[in-house]
Each structure stands twice: as C-alpha cells, then as structure tokens.
C-alpha cells in the first residue's frame, strides 16, 4: 500500500504541469520586481495543499532566500515568504521533514533576525515572523536545540514582555514551552524573569504546550526560590484549573507539579484552599498506578497541617465506603502513611475509618491486610485508638495474624498486640497471644528499642520531602 502511494506521488510530482509551474515560480522570484514576487509566493501558498510534496520541498530553499532580501523596505516579500513557509510546514506536518529542512536552510536565524530588527509597534509583521517560527518549532521538534543556541529563548521572552496582540500570543507561549524541554533553557528561567510566562503557558495554548509547561514547573520547582517565584506568579490556581480540565496524562503532570509546589510548608494551605484535595482523591481512586502514587505522596505532604489531615481523612473514609477494591487499597495506604503524624492519630479515629478498616479486613487481600496492619500497629500506641479497635473486634484478628505466612503481617500484628498487652484494660483479652514466639520476639525487640531511646525517633513526625514527587518525570 505504502509503495503504491509513493509511486503515485512520484508520477504526480513529475507531471509536466507542475514542473512548468515550478519553473515559472523560480523565474519570477529570480528576475521579477517585488510585487510580482509577492504574487508568485501568495499563489504558491494558496495552492500548497494541492502541490506535490516534492515540489514544495524544492520551493523551501527559494522561500528561505527571500527572507534575506535587502531590497524590500516594506518587508512585503519577506512577509509573504514567511507566511508561505508556515503554510508548507503545517501542511507537511512532522512526517514530511519540511520544518527540519527549513531550519537547515537558515529560516530560524532569519526569523530571529527579523524579530530583532522589527519596530516594536509593527505588530502585524512581528506576528507573521512569530507564526512562521511557531510552525517550525511545532512540526520540527528536532530543531529546538538550534533555536535555543541562536538565542531564541531570550528573543521569545523579549517578545512576550512587549506583545500586545492577545489573539496570537499563544504562538509565543507554545514556542516558549517547546524551549523549556531543553534542560539548559529551564535553568535560566529562574534568573531571566521567564517563570511568569511558564505559569501563563499552563493556561494558554494547545494541550501539548500546557503539558510541557507543567513538566517544566515540576522540574524547576524543586528549589525553594523557584517555588516562591512560581507561587507569586499564580502557579497554584493555574495548575488546579488544568488538573480539573485536563486529560489523564495532563492530570498526572499537573498533580505532580502541584505536589512539588506544596512541599514548602507555607504553601500547603494555599494548595488545599484552591480545591486540590478532591482532585487528588480522583487520582487515588483511578486506575493509573502512578496517579495513585502521586496522590499518596501529596496527601502525606498536605496532611502536615491538621486541618488538611481532617479533610483528607474524610475523603479517605468515603473511598473506604464507596470505592472499588483498588481504591480501598490505595486509601488504606494513605491512612497507614498518615498514622505516622501525631496529630493524625486523633484525626483517623474521629473520622470513623477504624471500624471500616476492620470490616474490610475480614475479606481483604493479603496486600490489603499488610497495608492496614502497618496503620494498626502505629495507631495502637494511642489509648483511644486501642479502644476503637477493640470495639470493632480487631483483637481476635490480630491474634490470628500471628500465624500468617507474611512476615510483615505477623510483625505488625505482634507490635499492636504488645501495645494492647501493656494496657491493663486489654491484657486479659490478649493473654493467649503472650506465649506466641512472634509476640515474644516483638516484645523483646521493642524493649531494646525503648531502652536505647530509639522509640522516640521512630514515632516522631516524619520528615516530608519532595523526593518521591521529583521522580523521573519522563515517565509521566
């Protein structure tokens, strides 16, 4: 099929009519005054979707040469050539290689030079140069490095700072985000005032460009200074809006970037107030494993504030009541993580999560039991939580787990039972477990830890970092 199409295209391109027309075009460009050259270029542009690609490819060097003419004070020939190049690049797309060929013919350098020479008030010409540059960057992704080396980022930022035409500003922003895919370009944004445009790009442009902006924010935002500048530029509401409206991939990128921003404690409340918690609940309840990991990491960050922990626990309880098995497993993992916060102990108890966990445990999978057992072992250090577990019928289940094949489950159950045994109110109910080897080994282990004062380190509030979120974002 592909071979027959190629043969047909070859026969079409060798049609004497097209050869004649191309020769006329070539002659008009080489020997005619500016008005005729403009008409010839516009005719080519208008007919580009019907012209064989081989003919269009031969026209590219000629059009590139027109960008360099010096006898065109009105820029009419250059603007016509730029418009025609844009149209050819868009018609050909990435597969045609037209944009890459234009780069090799010096079109990028010419366009940047024209932008530098342009009068700031001549928005019409600047728009033509920018749209042509946009087409090259969009359909020739491999030429972005060349654009960067020619000072493209600095010129684009200069244009963004002075641009007055809102209807075409998106072109500049999409060029800008394409350049942020280059590591060296991202590094300079913190120092050249470009971060505000990165935030603007989250809201404006096609979805691919907005995703590039999210990706760059996630990579740049790992430093405190960058996070501060991004927040001052309005990154939190911008990311939340994209989180709400984006597709599955976009939600992952926006959620991850927002989590990195929230890693600075002074921004935790702002991220929550912007309405992010229900969005992370959606990720946690979804099918994508990476989305679940991102939501769990961010919930652990947001929960450093007790008010946030209350809100998160309420959402987790809803998942335990209404979610599917995978969602319940993910929610139990977050509860386990939150049980390490001192203020979350009472939050989890008051949320009503404990009876639900015990109920689900009776028929839960081995993985679910292991996750929940970790939370139970942590929560069992608190007197009120021991009461809640006891009332929910947890003690017989813990005793049964001492004989489970999972070492993690046995150890977590033993740790919880040791805590119950040290409470006079429950000693009689756990007496049958006291002689079990797993129980006695855990009792000895905890005694050694307490003697060396390590228990305070284990039970202290965990240090929250953004390392899990600052993962290799190429996986997103």
Structure confidence by residue, pLDDT tens digits, 155-176: 999 999 988 777 889 999 999 9
Mean pLDDT of the chain: 86
- How buried is residue 449: exposed, middle or buried, by Cβ count under 10 Å (0-12/13-18/19+)? middle
Q: Which of 11-15, 79-83, 177-181 has the lowest mean pLDDT?
A: 11-15
Instruction: Measure the CA–CA gap between 79 and 382, rounded to whole angstroms.
Output: 75
124 pLDDT above the threshold of 90: no
Output the pLDDT for position 61.
Answer: 95
CB contact at 8 A, 283 and 294: yes
CA dist 136 and 101 (Å) reads 10
Give burial (CB, 10 Å; 0-12/13-18/19+) of 71. exposed
212 near 177, Cβ under 8 Å?
yes
**Pick from 124-128, 410-414, 468-472: least confident:** 468-472
The CA distances from residue 248 to 180, 237, 254, 324, 424, in Å, are 22, 19, 10, 19, 52
pLDDT tens for each residue of 26-43: 898 988 889 999 999 999
Q: What token pair was written down for 149? A: 């080396």
* Mean pLDDT of the 48-61 span: 92
CA 163-165-166 angle, to 5 degrees, is: 105
Alpha helical stretches, state H, 150-288: 152-162, 169-179, 183-192, 195-203, 207-220, 224-232, 235-245, 248-262, 268-273, 277-285
Higher-confidence position of 459 and 257:
257
Average pLDDT over residues 92-111: 92
Distance (Å, rounded) from C-alpha 258 to C-alpha 192? 23
Res 109: pLDDT: 95
CA distances 129 to 63, 73, 363, 364, Å, are: 14, 16, 65, 62
Q: What is the mean pLDDT of residues 58-71?
A: 91
Q: How confident is the model at residue 10 (pLDDT cuts 50, 70, 90)?
A: very low
Of the listed ranges 308-317, 375-384, 411-420, 461-470, the least confidently predicted one is 461-470
Tokens, residue 407: 């070492």
pLDDT band at 118 (very low <50, low <70, confident <90, very high): confident
pTM score, two decimals?
0.80
CA–CA dist 381, 376 (Å, integer): 9
φ, ψ for residue 453, nearest 5 deg: 65, 20
- Structure confidence at residue 178 (pLDDT): 95
- Write the CB contacts of 287 (distance below 8 Å, at least 6 apart in sequence): 326
pLDDT at residue number 381: 86
Locate 164 and state its tokens.
Answer: 């007055």
- Give me the pLDDT at residue 11, please: 44
Q: Which tokens in the block code for residue 147?
A: 């654009």
C-alpha dihedral (224, 228, 234, 238), degrees to nearest 10: 0
> Does the pLDDT of residue 221 top 80, yes or no?
yes
The 8-class DSSP code of residue 183 comes to H
**All structural domains of the chain:** 19-150 (1.25.10.10), 352-450 (1.25.10.10)
Per-residue pLDDT, 474: 52
Tens-place pLDDT, residues 347-368: 877 888 888 888 888 777 788 8
Percent of the chain with pLDDT over 70: 91
Choice among 118-122, 206-210, 286-290 with the minimum mean pLDDT: 118-122
In percent, how much of the chain has pLDDT > 90?
48
Task: Please tell me the distance from the alpha carbon of residue 360 to that of residue 321, in angstroms, as a whole number.
Answer: 9
**pLDDT reported for residue 8:** 43
More confident residue, 458 or 161: 161
Which of the 8 DSSP states describes residue 393?
T
Least confident interval from 61-70, 79-88, 89-98, 322-331: 322-331
Q: What is the pLDDT of residues 367-406, one digit of tens each?
A: 888 878 888 888 888 888 888 889 889 999 999 999 988 9
What would the mean pLDDT of 215-224 be, rounded to a whole number? 92
Element (H, E) at 319: helix 306-322
Residue 16 pLDDT level (bands cut at 50, 70, 90): low
Q: Is the model's pLDDT at 417 over the cut of 90?
A: yes
CA–CA separation, 429 and 427 (whole Å): 5
CA atoms within 13 A on the CB side of 387: 8
pLDDT for 244: 92
Inter-residue contact 301 to 263 (CB < 8 Å): yes
pLDDT tier for residue 17 given thresholds of 50, 70 and 90 = confident
Note the pLDDT of residue 455: 46
Answer yes or no: is pLDDT of 271 > 90: yes
pLDDT above 60 for 461: no
Q: Is pLDDT above 50 for 4?
A: no
């Amino acid at each position: 099929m592909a071979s027959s199409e190629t043969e047909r295209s070859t026969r079409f391109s060798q049609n004497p009519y097209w050869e004649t027309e191309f020769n006329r075009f070539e002659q008009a460009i080489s020997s005619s005054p500016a008005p005729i050259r403009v008409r010839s270029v516009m005719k080519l542009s208008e007919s580009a979707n019907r012209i064989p690609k081989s003919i269009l490819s031969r026209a590219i060097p000629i059009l590139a040469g027109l960008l360099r003419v010096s006898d065109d004070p009105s820029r009419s020939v250059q603007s016509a050539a730029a418009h025609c190049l844009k149209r050819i690049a868009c018609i050909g797309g990435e597969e045609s290689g037209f944009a890459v060929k234009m780069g090799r013919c010096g079109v990028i350098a010419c366009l940047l030079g024209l932008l530098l020479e342009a009068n700031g008030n001549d928005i019409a010409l600047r728009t033509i140069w920018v749209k042509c540059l946009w087409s090259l960057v969009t359909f020739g992704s491999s030429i972005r490095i060349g654009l960067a080396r020619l000072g493209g980022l600095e010129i684009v930022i200069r244009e963004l700072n002075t641009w007055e035409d809102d209807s075409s500003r998106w072109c500049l922003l999409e060029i800008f985000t394409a350049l942020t895919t280059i590591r060296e370009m991202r590094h300079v944004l913190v120092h050249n005032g470009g971060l505000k445009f990165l935030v603007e790009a989250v809201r404006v442009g096609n979805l691919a460009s907005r995703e590039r902006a999210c990706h760059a924010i996630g990579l740049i935002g790992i430093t405190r200074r960058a996070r501060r500048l991004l927040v001052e530029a309005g990154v939190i509401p911008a990311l939340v809006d994209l989180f709400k409206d984006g597709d599955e991939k976009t939600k992952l990128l926006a959620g991850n970037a927002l989590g990195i921003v929230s890693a600075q404690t002074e921004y935790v409340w702002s991220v929550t107030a912007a309405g992010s918690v229900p969005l992370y609940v959606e990720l946690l309840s979804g099918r994508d494993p990476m989305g679940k990991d991102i939501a769990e990491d961010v919930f652990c960050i947001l929960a450093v504030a007790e008010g946030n922990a209350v809100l998160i626990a309420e959402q987790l309880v809803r998942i335990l009541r209404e979610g599917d098995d995978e969602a319940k497993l993910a929610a139990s993992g977050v509860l386990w993580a939150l049980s390490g916060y001192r203020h979350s102990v009472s939050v989890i108890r008051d949320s009503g999560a404990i009876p639900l966990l015990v109920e689900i445990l009776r028929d839960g999978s081995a993985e679910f039991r292991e996750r929940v057992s970790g939370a139970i072992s942590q929560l069992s250090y608190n007197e009120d939580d021991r009461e809640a577990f006891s009332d929910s019928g947890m003690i017989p289940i813990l005793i049964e787990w001492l004989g489970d094949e999972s070492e993690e489950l046995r150890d977590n159950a033993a740790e919880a039972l040791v805590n119950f045994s040290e409470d006079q109110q429950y000693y009689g109910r756990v007496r049958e477990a006291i002689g079990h080897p797993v129980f006695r080994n855990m009792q000895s282990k905890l005694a050694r830890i307490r003697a060396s004062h390590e228990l305070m380190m284990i039970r202290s509030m965990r240090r929250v970092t953004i390392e899990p979120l600052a993962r290799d974002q190429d996986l997103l």
